[in-house]
A and B are shown apart, each in its own frame.
Chain A
Amino acid sequence: MGLRNTLLVARRQIGTMREDRYVVFLLALVVSLGVVSLLGARHHAASEAEQRARYRALVERQWAEQPDRHPHRVIHYGFLVFREEAPLAFFDPGVGAYAGTSLFLEGHRQNAASFGDARHSTGMLRFGRLTPATVLGLLLPLFVVAAGFASVSGERERGTLRLLLAQGATPGQIMGGKVLGIGALALAAALPIGLVTATFAAVGGEGQTSATRLLALAAGYAAYLAGWVLLTVWVSSRRASSRAALVQLVAIWVALCVAAPRLGASLAATLHPIPSRAQFTAQVEEAQRGVGDSHNPDDPFFSALRDEYLARYKVDSVEELPINWGGVVSREGEEVTSRINEEQQQELLAAHRRQDGVMAWFGLLSPYLAARDLSMAAAGTGAEAVESFRAQAEAHRYEIIQRLNDLHVHEIRYENDRAQRIARQEWTRFPVFQPSPPSLRRALTDRPQSLTALGLWIVVPLAGLGLGRRRLPRVGVDGSGS
């Protein structure tokens, strides 16, 4: 009996919304925006990926086709790597646009990545980007509000709420039915977007990984949108007039989706300031000054190192060493400077993590932030993907440079050092950069606040609906909720 009433109310709500031409128009609009953004984003992602693949192949060929070269030359020749976007970046590009795409790896120094989408964009980007993720996270909630703000208050205004109650429907059944009805409409809007996303992901390959990630995305957005449906019905049930309900819901949307993310980012940046790139590189240089310069043979650090090697090999001068002293200096220098740079880098990253912490707590206030955070995590486009690329590129850089230094130490004689060459075949034996993205499990478990926020986002309006159930018949009668 109870379920039947709930379903009746749901059907009634769907009927009302289907007759409302605004709602039908908005539904068509949201779905077409979702699909258009998918097409645009996919095209963009595909052409970017194609470009990166092309230049990646070019750089790898250039590396392999190097002539006979002195290994230290190759250390300066270095290697260019490109950050590949995650397969689902077309759905949620995440933070990708704000990080560099190409990174030059060379000896002695750790460069920062260059060229990100955001730097190629005009001021328009300030207002946000049209991506499938923003359609689902930003526009769909507003659509839910537009479709459902009058769900209970409208019945009240027309006097049909009393009728429903008189016919034996309990407040719980009425509100449950409303939630189901509006939820069905939200699903109707989200489903086409989800299906096109899944089709694109399937066509793009990747199979297994994408499937799990897609499921995580679906679950995240389902919870997020369910929260909006519950909130909409809750507010509508508490307000005497539909107009008041609409105004309040729009105000909530603006606060949560427009103001809160920006406020959070700005607070995080103020609480935990970071040095600019120029200040950062200057800091690294200053820290490295303490250990000396591998290009300077009279440096105190390297003099001590020389004495140590002379004692170990029981010889009197570096010329008598069975290995190439120049290569040793370069190798040891690289080890020290890399360590110092990585320390500074970790300090900067720690500041970023502290900023992220502020944002994560802000997510408890703004479910939009939390949902976006989880969406990026599931799509593999969060900040951790950028950092993982950086860390793996640095590991790769270190490996290649030290391998070249080892060649210098063992294959090049100290005498007449610079005139010697390593045969070109050697270059093809070097490993190719194959970064692996961070796992979905780690990305999700690193975000306890966002997961909690999304949970609260459902629990709070649900509790509100439950507790406000008994008051339903009285709203607007005794002067409350106007």
Chain B
Amino acid sequence: MAWIRLIRLEFARVIRSGGVAAALLLLLGLGVYASWQGSLRIQAAEAATAAAETAYRDQLAYLSATYPPATEAGEPLYYLAFPAPQPPSPLSALASGRTAVETASLRIRLLALEGQLYEHETLNPRLAAAGHLDLAFVLIALLPLFVIAVTYDIVSSERERGTWRMARLFARPRRLIAAKVAARVVLAAGLVTSLALIGAFSTGTDADGRAGWAVALIALHTLFWFALCLGVAGGRRSSTTNAMILVGVWVALTFLAPAVLSLTNALLHPVPEALELTVRQRQGYHEAWDLPKAATMEGFFEDYPQWSDQTVPEDEFTWAWYYAMNHRGDQTARDASRAYRDVLTQRDEWARRWSLLVPPLATQIALDRLSSADLRTQLAYQEAVRGYHERLKAHFQPLLFSAAPFTQVDWDRVPTFEPAVPAGEAPQAGLPAAAALILVSIGVLLPRIRSRPSPDS
């Protein structure tokens, strides 16, 4: 009972000490703002999806109205762009990861695909360079500063004021420190819980396994900072030294380590394939204009043997040949494209592995995974678009080979895009980071646990 009273007393003291209430309100305000922003982003993504769908219908109506009914299907298909929107995961409103720099809604034409996958979004590079504010950033980067601010002088302030001796009369030092920390943990837990609730409420995120893991990771990450602060501030250094050390560690963990790892990753895994595949695809397609048509078809039949009994006239333009030539572009770029994806996958795996050493990074990368906003999701999306392109080709090839008119296309049966499914289960994404956070937390507390409580000075 005395224990609870001690915590209550401490809690009241912290809340009333200068600036703490203001800092709490500030964090709360930023968190609410970030959640609201997240819901706006989801709305914008949904509007973009709807717009792509509308654009497709408009274009189809326009092409049907403009081309005479006898026109071969291949001609209007040259223009028609099929929408391939990846719906945003609800959790990405709160942990938006790389969504700001990525494309989630491509429009795909039946032409060579590799040239259509990598265009940049319309984003303003200046805003992107300034950084991005989401609830995850508030909780991973800013909340630790609040933790530092309320714990760095947990013992030293009493020593410096000379009240430590008196306080020790009421409770054993270790118990006193534990009560002080517990009061602050309760405060932080209240903040995290309210922000998680506000976030979930304002963005309509389901309370599913992924959301649960996300909250658990944020909680563990916050506890790590408490452990670290206790490890540093439980010692006998002065308040200013504690503050300097803790702010230094914060800068090292939330800025330096990620930046150094990111730079190392880029240097270890260069991506020359990006330009290679662009050059190859264009060359592979255009060379075919100057080759005998049979040679182009030969390459096409390698990938689509079911059409190998077809021939195209050498001296005449046919759409079947035209699209086979486009396929040749993708075929020529295939190795470079695979190498490109391999390098990006390596970067992703390397980042996942090394991030486990740096708590904020481990949390961030795991959250990106949970909210399907990481590099791997983008690769999976591109893969889904590839699959869609293949299904479209399979659907239209019979019409192209039979030189069927546009009117023969049954538009209701044209395949629609199937979005990429988030890979892996939630525990797979969250468990390594959770384990790493617990281990590192114990690690930073070890020196404190092993040393005897100071007999005071």
Q: Which residues of A contact B (CB under 8 A)?
A: 22, 26, 33, 37, 40-41, 43-44, 47, 51-52, 55, 58-59, 62, 67, 69, 73, 76-78, 80, 82, 94-102, 104, 111-130, 134, 138-139, 142, 146, 149-150, 242-243, 246-247, 250-251, 254, 258-259, 261-266, 268-270, 273-282, 285-286, 289, 293, 296, 299, 348, 351-352, 355-356, 359, 369, 372, 382-383, 386, 418
Which chain A positions have C-beta within 8 A of B263?
Answer: 37, 40-41, 44, 129-130
Instruction: Determine whether the beta carbon of B120 is less than 8 Å from that of A99.
Output: yes
Instruction: Verify if B255 is at the interface (C-beta below 8 Å from A).
Output: yes
Q: Which residues of B contact A (CB under 8 A)?
A: 19, 30, 33-34, 37, 40, 44, 48, 51-52, 54-55, 58-59, 62, 66-67, 81, 83, 85, 97-98, 101-103, 105-107, 115, 118-133, 137, 141-142, 145, 149, 153, 239-241, 243-244, 247-248, 251, 254-256, 258-263, 265-267, 270-272, 274-276, 278-279, 282-283, 286, 289-290, 317, 344, 347-348, 351-352, 355, 360-361, 364-365, 368, 373-375, 378
Give the complex CA separation of A269 and B373 in angstroms: 19
Within 8 Å by CB of B262, from A95, A122, A254, lies: A122
Instruction: Determine whether the beta carbon of A282 is less than 8 Å from that of B107.
Output: yes
Name the residue of chain A whose CB is nearest to the CB of B145.
A254
Name the residue of chain A whose CB is nearest to the CB of B62.
A289
Instruction: Determine whether the beta carbon of A94 is less than 8 Å from that of B129.
Output: yes
Which chain A positions have C-beta within 8 A of B365?
Answer: 122-124
Within 8 Å by CB of B107, from A58, A254, A258, A278, lies: A278
Known: A274-B124, A285-B59. A120 touches B274 (CB 8 A): yes
Tell me the interface secondary structure of chain B in the complex: helix
Instruction: Determine whether the beta carbon of A114 is less than 8 Å from that of B120.
Output: yes
Instruction: Determine whether the beta carbon of A127 is less than 8 Å from that of B142.
Output: no
Name the residue of chain A whose CB is nearest to the CB of B373.
A123
Within 8 Å by CB of B278, from A104, A246, A351, lies: A104
Name the residue of chain A whose CB is nearest to the CB of B121.
A277
Give the complex CA separation of A78 and B283 in angstroms: 11
- Minimum CB–CB distance from A298 to chain B (whole Å) comes to 8
Which chain B positions have C-beta within 8 A of A386?
Answer: 125
Instruction: Determine whether the beta carbon of A281 is less than 8 Å from that of B107.
Output: yes
Instruction: Determine whether the beta carbon of B127 is less than 8 Å from that of A277.
Output: no
Name the residue of chain A whose CB is nearest to the CB of B266.
A44
- Between-chain CB contacts (< 8 Å), 23 pairs: A78-B282, A112-B120, A112-B122, A114-B119, A115-B118, A119-B101, A121-B262, A121-B347, A122-B365, A123-B368, A123-B375, A124-B361, A127-B141, A128-B259, A247-B243, A258-B141, A262-B133, A263-B30, A266-B37, A266-B132, A279-B55, A285-B59, A355-B127
Known: A242-B240, A250-B243, A277-B120. A128 touches B266 (CB 8 A): no
Name the residue of chain B whose CB is nearest to the CB of A362.
B130
Which chain A positions have C-beta within 8 A of B265?
Answer: 121-122, 124
Instruction: Determine whether the beta carbon of B115 is less than 8 Å from that of A262.
Output: no
Given A119-B102, A130-B256, A277-B121; 11 other pairs, CB 8 A cutoff? A96-B125, A122-B348, A123-B368, A126-B258, A128-B259, A146-B244, A250-B243, A269-B127, A270-B37, A274-B122, A276-B51
Instruction: Determine whether the beta carbon of A265 is less than 8 Å from that of B132.
Output: yes
Which chain B positions have C-beta within 8 A of A78?
Answer: 282
